[in-house]
Structure 1
């Protein structure tokens, strides 16, 4: 039997439970494989639940622009709730500016991934 993949939705639900939010007010979308599908499937959920009057989009601050674009494209206008901000303490020493740190490559990879994703989604009309 295949085990279902772990999802970010499951992590968020765990956090909501820890914050005291009951299951009765949580609506989970966990079928999507990408941001565009997430917006499309969420639109289906909202269409089936006319009593919903507020939608909150929780995603990384880095990904917020593309995610909001996808949701707006399908006609949804959620309140943005960026999470997972990335920052570092800057130093005024030459080694900080001239010698890359261990996490620098990962940061560049994330930046290039999101820029590429945004440009491709824009070109395809997803956002």
Structure 2
């Protein structure tokens, strides 16, 4: 997983300003009730880091991208759920754009491009998504001719070493099996997207 994840960079390494930070979905639980609040999953730091990037003036706007697989009338898009969190973080409504139709990474790119090429043609944007998903996401956004740089979040690996029993580094665990499944699935997705011409 560590060799596949795109490494994080400190905020200070982002010396240029970006018109928009694009936050990809997959971080809220649209199935969880009640619907009077937003429930997040592991990748919630995508949203929190986007808010920090805005506060630091690195990005001027935030575009949240993600639809809903639910068909009931109470369901809202994941993009709208992420917007709720950003507003709670103090981001002004005028700085948040919502793309609530996409259901996968390729559609994230296509739908986001339709918005950004009209509002901010020829600008460079910052793509904010999970480190293990960044390679495929970057490929999709570049394929639709959007200028994007990477901002990796939601890491499955850590830096440094832990003082653990040596046997734990070779003995299979539930967590390591989950990480192996996730990276294998992502690598396969990257290959399929490449074959289909999505990246």
Q: TM-score by structure 1 length?
A: 0.84
Q: Give 1:41-120 correspondences, 5 Å limit.
A: 41-50=111-120, 53-88=123-158, 89-91=161-163, 93-120=165-192
Are the structure 2 counterparts of residues 49 and 110 from structure 1 closer, same or farther at C-alpha, using a change threshold of 3 Å?
A: same
Q: For the Cα contact (< 8 Å) 1:90–1:96, is it kept in 2?
A: no
Choose between structure 1 and 2: higher helix proportion. 1
Distance 1:13 1:52 in 2: 25
Deviation readout 1:47-97 (Å, 9 max, x if unpaired): 332478342221111101110110001100123221101125545633112
Q: Which has the higher contact order (CA 8 A, sep 6+)?
A: 2
Across the aligned residues of Structure 1 and Structure 2, the Cα RMSD in angstroms comes to: 2.3
Q: Count residues in correspondence.
A: 126
1:33 aligns with 2:103: yes
Choose between structure 1 and 2: higher strand proportion. 2
What SS does structure 2 have at the residue aligned with 1:16? helix
Q: Which runs of 5+ in 2 are unaligned?
A: 1-70
Instruction: Give every structure 1 segment of 4 or more consecutive aligned residues whose post-TM-superposition deviation is greater than 6 Å.
Output: none
Q: For the Cα contact (< 8 Å) 2:109–2:144, is it kept in 1?
A: yes
Q: TM-score by structure 2 length?
A: 0.56
Are the structure 2 counterparts of residues 82 and 11 from structure 1 closer, same or farther at C-alpha, using a change threshold of 3 Å?
A: farther
Q: For the Cα contact (< 8 Å) 2:77–2:100, is it kept in 1?
A: no
Distance 1:29 1:86 in 2: 27
Residue equivalent to 2:75: 4
Q: Which runs of 5+ in 1 are unaligned?
A: none
Distance 1:122 1:90 in 2: 37
